Structure 1
């Protein structure tokens, strides 16, 4: 149950107190709203559109129909196109796929980190090289 102050603030921002906020235990309700307000909905380094697309990708990866519905609506509200929604879900599926391969194959993390550094160095070198015009 949210405090009266938080209830008023949530209603001002969202037009209502959603059931998922109401479902939070009293000790977490005000904090949960503050986290959502300040980080997810607030002004941060990522735009609202970018945060919504990240949320959609994460929701798809964890297969949460509630979060998928919310973040898809949020992404659309923030101006994301259908192609961008599809791409966000596609990126998340690739991350989940390769995470499964990495864990299932027990790839050495230190070796993977070294390979990643080498790949980044190579790609950055290619990007900095003059074109073949």
Structure 2
């Protein structure tokens, strides 16, 4: 941990001993790992969005700084937070109104099909 972060953060010392090594491994491999499908930039932006949506000031600060290390601009950070808020907003509407999931999926599939057809090159 010290080799990657330059220190053992105090909050990591709060992990229960049976889970401490496992928790560090998850954090290291998912957040800091280079052999993942997502780039460091993409992972940082996801972290910012989730942290904002869950109202976690610790994670928000960490992931914004992580994003800045990956070259993310303040405008991109603002947009990421707005997208997270938009998703949380509509999720609240969908859940609160008990929207039928199967109907929602069917409509979404129709929308995706329509957009796919619109984007397809026109036959000459």
TM-score by length of 1: 0.88
**Cα deviation, residue 107, structure 1:** 0.2
Q: Is residue 2:47 matched to residue 1:55? A: yes
Structure 1, gaps ≥5 residues long: 1-9
Q: Is residue 2:68 matched to residue 1:76? A: yes
Partner in structure 2 of residue 122 of structure 1: 114
RMSD: 0.8
TM-score by length of 2: 0.95
**1:1-133 to 2 correspondences below 5 Å:** 10-43=1-34, 44-130=36-122
Aligned length: 121
Residues 25-46 of structure 1: per-residue CA shift (max 9 Å, x gap): 0011100110011111102111
Residues 66-87 of structure 1: per-residue CA shift (max 9 Å, x gap): 0000000000011001111011
State the secondary structure of the residue aligned to 1:70: helix
Structure 2, gaps ≥5 residues long: none
After TM superposition, what 4+ stretches of structure 1 lie above 4 angstroms from structure 2? Answer: none
Residues 99-123 of structure 1: per-residue CA shift (max 9 Å, x gap): 0000011000010111111111111
Q: Distance in 2 between matches of 1:126 and 1:81?
A: 32
